[in-house]
């Protein structure tokens, strides 16, 4: 109630297409590995960093999150950052895993992205930037994109991931109402 409509990315496709009697929507999507995909979908990770302008080229708006099949090898640095920021071990465990029935190789969440900006190495290394990105400044990408909101789908959608931003068509009823 009273909540503003989320802006759509410029690349957003069709809304309400009928396929087999079920409404579908086509939106931009991106793939990300665990544990960062889970941290993002749970709403803990509030910035996404990349070394490319991937998100800046598409602008702010709703994108879909695909979970890659691999585990990102950061040597547990994300856990250290979370603990340093006050997360208890049980919370770290919960936030770094996908809840059932979600698993790798699926579209799992809607994400509302904000602006993207280029950050210097010192700016990426501040405690606030490391907390937002859940990565050490030296390991994070140069382009930081604000994550304004993230929420799991009502159920997962099986789909192979791809590099960069790709189009994904999902049943309309899996999306959160704000997306």
- Mean pLDDT of all residues in 4-27: 56
pLDDT tens digits for 140-155?
Answer: 999 999 999 999 999 9
Instruction: Show the tokens assigned to 36.
Output: 């960062």
Of 49, 56, 152, nearest to 106 (Cα)?
152
Burial 96-110 (b: 16+ CB within 10 A, else e): bebeeebebebbbbb
Q: pLDDT category, 9, cuts 50, 70, 90?
A: very low
Report d(CA 127, CA 132) in Å as an integer.
Answer: 9
- What are residue 31's DSSP bridge partners? 66
Report d(CA 140, CA 15) in Å as an integer.
Answer: 34
Cβ atoms of 136 and 76 closer than 8 Å: no
Report d(CA 12, CA 62) in Å as an integer.
Answer: 8
Of 50, 55, 51, 53, nearest to 9 (Cα)?
55
4 vs 110: which has the higher pLDDT? 110
Q: pLDDT category, 21, cuts 50, 70, 90?
A: low
């Amino acid at each position: 109630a009273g909540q503003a409509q989320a802006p759509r990315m410029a690349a957003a496709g069709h809304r309400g297409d009928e396929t087999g009697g079920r409404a579908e929507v086509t939106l931009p999507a991106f793939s990300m590995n665990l544990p960062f995909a889970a941290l993002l979908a749970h709403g803990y990770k509030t910035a996404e960093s990349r070394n490319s302008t991937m998100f800046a080229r598409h602008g702010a708006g709703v994108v879909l999150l695909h979970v890659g099949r691999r585990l990102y090898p950061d040597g547990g640095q994300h856990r250290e950052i979370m603990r340093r920021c006050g997360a208890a071990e049980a919370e770290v465990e919960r936030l770094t895993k996908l809840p059932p029935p979600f698993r790798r190789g699926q579209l799992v969440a809607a994400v509302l992205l904000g602006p993207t900006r280029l950050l210097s190495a010192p700016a990426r290394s501040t405690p606030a930037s490391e907390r937002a990105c859940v990565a050490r400044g030296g390991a994070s990408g140069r382009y930081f994109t604000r994550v304004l909101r993230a929420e799991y789908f009502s159920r997962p959608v099986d789909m192979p991931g791809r590099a960069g931003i790709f189009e994904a068509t999902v049943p309309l009823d899996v999306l959160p109402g704000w997306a």
